[in-house]
Amino acid sequence: MSALLSLRGVSKRFGGLIAVNRMDFDVGEHEVLGLIGPNGSGKSTTLNLISGAFPVSAGSISLRGQAISHLAAQEINRRGIARTFQLVRLLPSMTVLENVKAGAVFGHRRRWGNEANVIAEAMLEKVGLAGRGHMTIGQLTYIDSKRVELARALAGEPRVILLDEWLAGLNPTELEEGIRLIRSLRDDGCTIILVEHVMDAIRSLCDRCVVMAAGTKIAEGTPADVLSDTAVIRAYLGDDDA
Amino acid sequence: MDVVVTGLLLGGTYALIAMGLNLQYGMARIMNLANGEMLVAGAFVAFWFWTGGQISPLLTVFLVAPVAFLLNWLIYVIFLRPLAKRAKSRGQLEVDAILTTFGLSFVAVGLMLAFFGGEYFSYSYLSTPVYIFGDTYGANRVTAFLAAVLICGALWLWLARSRAGMTIRAISVAPESARLVGIDVRRTAALAFALGGAVTATGGSLISTFLTLDASTGVIFTLKALVIVIMGGVGDVRGTIVAALLLGLLETFVARLIDPGLTLAAAYLLFVVILLFRPQGLFGRPTA
Amino acid sequence: MTKLSSRDWGNLSLAGLAIIVAACLPWSAGAYNLTIGVTIAMYTVLATSWALFSGPTHYISLATAAFFGVGAYVTGIGIQHLPYWSLLPIAGIIGAVMAALVGLATLRLSGVYFVIFTLGLAEFVRQIITWSQNISGTKGIYVLTSINEADIYWQLLGLAALVWLIGWLIGRSRLGFALRIIGDDEAVAKHSGIDTARAKILLFMVPGAVAAITGAILAPRYVYLEPSLAFTPMLSFQVVIMALLGGTGRLWGPLVGVIPFTFLWETISASFPNQTTLLLGLCFLVIVYLLPKGFVGLIDALRNRLNKGEAWA
């Protein structure tokens, strides 16, 4: 299987701190990859490097064989990598539909006019918010605001979607709905990288997992294999709970 | 050679003024565009005492500094703190602070015109040398420079060593963490702002001994101080001093060799170069 | 581009009608009122184009005087060599290029840097022109034309119509949508595939070009053109005040600020000429503390209160 997205020796330094240290992994087409590890292990930083929130210090990231690690965030998004944020970021002065349309108009496929509206409506329906496009952001519940953000990422019809703790902070019922939603994306053939803490979600959603601790990859494999790996268990439960 | 010395003398006084702005912008996080007016006010008081009672500007400073401190503290508490409270984002606060301090600067100019300067340029002359020292340089310039060095040095020591100084530096580096270790960020910011105003006003009193000023020149000094602060690095005391000396040198060179009318243009060009090549300041590390 | 709704057509024809009515002023008003009319038209053009950029981006531009002065000098110098009508587009192009350069240098950085940069720009250009005039031994330029006050007024009115049209078209375009997103959250904009720096630079070229054209139109009014006249920094501040006083949220917002402010300014400068600075300062404070969204915000709030109970409230 040829990789859709691959990281080779990717590192990120903040001053003296090495947040991500020589990460290598691939994501194949239609694959759901879980990026897991204890807090502060560099998962979100890795996601930020892929999406171009800040530049890599070393190494390269490529999408379908083309290097993207030198590109600005907007260019990476146009090439087909869309993301959600750890703390939900919606556009407060716009309606729900306009928020989603933002993804359709400027994302990977860059649609305009009626076409963008059709996509935005379709994505709202996909995330379970059909007919609520006219609502303002202030009227949304927490999970619904997460859904809108997901719909915005989807609306550009990206090749890869990065979800940064999208399931965090949901109550048990919402969590079940959230997992179902992501599974439906997976069934549609979306390629997803998932930074996640919820073990149930990782087990039921991911094809493969990359485990990080202190900025490095310590394990890679199927969820079942990885979660029984002693190194992983030590990383989670042992001395490293920073 | 005398160009270099004159430039350094001028730069020393600039350092003091820029230090005041840096305390306000770097520490209290308010870009105070009314900073230059505080300078002019300090200069005016010095002039007034000198012409009225032959009181040396070096003594006037001891009155100007506490009054300016109090005034700036009031400005911070009355005008700026409510903005910080209501701002939804850093950008919003920035815009509000810019507009407010511009407003205050115009009000200050208007008031100074109304109360002291119906005749506009009348109080602009205070260039009588105070002490007669050394070479061919005006004694007033040397005195102002020495006083500026003294104050800058004291301020530097105070920021580096004293508890209050460390608190101020803490809120400039990491306001959130400072809160966690029990620093009253709001009070400290007010303190830094007030102190910055006092330092600038003192600089104004000193600079009035050798420069001609009028009620509306404040904005030029604000611009120069801003250029220095940005060149030296926001919140960086050492950088501010180096940048101030550089600007003093550059201005003196341009004035002597090309045209005295181009000093601000030169400062502006320097600013453009800094923005293009080192927006993080001379000694700053790139943030990205 | 989406089709025009009947409401769009209504607004368009209303705006067209208003401009036609305004165009009749030179025939009905005396010399003094026409002068006021020119002032209002000038600030409307400047403030509206200013708000097109600063409204959505929240960058406060103080470069108006720089663009205006450069435009005035285009007419002042060019009138001896070129036909008048060719000067306006030349001024526009120079203004747009200047704005693009300023934008390239500053719009990637924080708003504070932009304010300082634009504030210094007018002073910089003024010092350079004064210096080059000193070298060549000239002081000012005579701008002698047969253009009268009414001609200036009609040109400004035409320019105002053009600015509104451009603003309206931007609002309906991809660029307009991108700017609303940038105004809300720049990081989201970037991660949604918007080249934020490019969008801001493109947009900043509009007030740059418009202010330069305005300067070019008004130059004949001065007769004798000097740097201190063409690059007066007060112009930049007045434009900011009027636009914010009216409100940048709507296309017609600045107009609502320009008209009352012009009359207030005329009154104050007639009876207390030394207090215009104070007035300007107080207006800034009023805007920040009492009218953060300008008159437009006030009108919207009143309208919302009237509509209370209906779907929107």
Q: Which one of B119, B228, B275, B278 makes the best mutation probe of the C interface by having the most chain C beta carbons within 10 Å?
A: B275
| A151 & A166 share domain | no
DSSP for B54-88, written as a single string: ---HHHHHHHHHHHHHHHHHHHIIIIIHHHHHH-S
Residues 6+ apart with CB under 8 A from A16: none
A124 found inside a domain: yes
- The confidence score (pLDDT) of residue A152 equals 95
**8 A C-beta contact, residue B135 and residue B152:** no
Which of C174, C188, C196 is nearest residue A105 as measured by Cβ atoms?
C174
Q: Which helix H or strand E contains B251, and what residues bound it?
A: helix B237-257
Angle B276-B278-B282 from CA coordinates, rounded to 5°: 145
Rounded to whole angstroms, how far apart are CA atoms B126 and A102? 61
Minimal Cα distance from C1: which residue of A? A113
Query: Does the CB of A14 have a partner CB in chain B at under 8 Å?
Result: no
- Determine, for residues A15 and B288 on separate chains, whether the beta-carbon distance falls below 8 Å: no
Pairing of strands A81-83, A160-164: parallel
Which of C131, C233, C285 is nearest residue B100 as measured by Cβ atoms?
C285
Beta strands in chain C (DSSP E): 141-142, 224-225
Query: Does the CB of C183 have a partner CB in chain A at under 8 Å?
Result: yes
| A163 & A140 share domain | no
Residue A76 has pLDDT above 90, yes or no: yes
- The confidence score (pLDDT) of residue A237 equals 67
| A181 & A228 share domain | yes
pLDDT in tens, C275-312: 888 888 898 898 888 888 888 888 888 888 887 655 44
| A175 & A241 share domain | yes
Strand order, beta sheet including A66-67: A17-28, A3-14, A58-63, A66-67
Quote the radius of gyration of chain B (alpha carbons, Å): 18
> Which positions in chain C touch B33 (Cβ < 8 Å)?
115
Q: Which helix H or strand E contains C172, and what residues bound it?
A: helix C149-172
- Cα dihedral B7, B8, B14, B19, rounded to 10, equals 150
3-state secondary structure B11-50: HHHHHHHHHHHHHHHHHCCCCCCCHHHHHHHHHHHHHHHH
User: What is the number of other CB atoms lying within 10 angstroms of the CB of residue C84?
Assistant: 16
Least confident of A3-7, A92-96, B209-213, C208-212: B209-213
Q: Which helix H or strand E contains A209, and what residues bound it?
A: strand A208-213
Domain termination residue (choose one: A157, A182, A207): A157
Which residue, among B189, B213, B233, has the nearest Cα to B38 in the 3D structure?
A: B213
Residues 6+ apart with CB under 8 A from B153: none
Tell me which CATH code domain B2-277 carries. Answer: 1.10.3470
- Domains of chain C, CATH where assigned: 6-230 (1.10.3470.10)
| A58 & A11 share domain | yes
A85 found inside a domain: no
Which of A75, A92, A156 is nearest residue C184 as measured by Cβ atoms?
A92
- The confidence score (pLDDT) of residue B199 equals 92
Which of B25, B96, B109 is nearest residue C288 as measured by Cβ atoms?
B96
> Which positions in chain C touch A99 (Cβ < 8 Å)?
none
Which residue, among B172, B191, B280, has the nearest Cα to B235 in the 3D structure?
A: B172
CB-count exposure of residue C194 (10 Å: 0-12, 13-18, 19+): buried
| A37 & A151 share domain | no
Q: Residue A145: what are its φ and ψ, rounded to 5°? A: -65, -35
Q: Number of folded domains in chain A?
A: 2
- The confidence score (pLDDT) of residue B47 equals 80
Distances in Å between the Cα of B101 and the Cα atoms of A26, B31, B34, C158 are 53, 8, 5, 36
Rounded to whole angstroms, how far apart are CA atoms C189 and C183? 9
| A49 & A72 share domain | yes
| A16 & A40 share domain | yes
Q: What is the mean pLDDT of each run of 10 residues along chain B (288 residues)?
A: 80 88 84 89 84 77 90 91 80 84 90 69 46 58 81 84 79 71 79 91 85 80 89 83 91 88 88 83 60
| A70 & A113 share domain | no
For chain B, positions 115-174, list CB contacts with chain C under 8 A: 118
| A112 & A225 share domain | no
Per-residue pLDDT of chain C (313 residues; tens, 9 = 90+): 456 778 888 888 888 888 888 888 888 878 888 999 999 999 999 999 999 999 888 889 999 999 999 999 999 999 888 998 899 999 999 999 999 999 998 887 777 888 888 988 988 998 898 888 888 877 778 887 888 888 999 999 999 999 999 999 998 899 999 999 998 888 999 999 999 999 999 999 999 999 999 999 999 988 888 888 888 888 999 999 999 989 888 888 899 999 999 998 888 888 887 788 888 889 889 888 888 888 888 888 888 888 765 544 3
Minimal Cα distance from B92: which residue of C? C58
A118 found inside a domain: yes
Residues 6+ apart with CB under 8 A from C233: B219, C62, C65, C119, C122, C123
Angle A78-C2-C313 from CA coordinates, rounded to 5°: 95
| A113 & A177 share domain | no
Query: Does the CB of A15 have a partner CB in chain B at under 8 Å?
Result: yes
Residue A125: helix, strand or coil by DSSP?
Answer: helix
Query: Does the CB of A54 have a partner CB in chain B at under 8 Å?
Result: yes
User: What is the number of other CB atoms lying within 10 angstroms of the CB of residue B259?
Assistant: 17
Query: Does the CB of C243 have a partner CB in chain B at under 8 Å?
Result: no
For chain B, positions 207-266, list CB contacts with chain C under 8 A: 216, 219-220, 223, 226-227, 230, 258-259, 261-262, 264-265
Q: What domain range is A130 assigned to?
A: 90-157
Rounded to whole angstroms, how far apart are CA atoms A46 and A195? 10
Residue A24 carries which DSSP code? E
pLDDT in tens, C221-280: 888 888 888 888 889 999 999 999 898 888 888 999 999 999 988 888 888 877 888 888
Task: Please report the sign of the dihedral spanned by the C-alpha atoms of residue C198, residue C201, residue C204, residue C209.
Answer: negative
Distances in Å between the Cα of B16 and the Cα atoms of B47, B155, B196, C10 are 19, 10, 10, 60
- The CATH number for A41's domain is 3.40.50.300
Residue B100: helix, strand or coil by DSSP?
Answer: helix
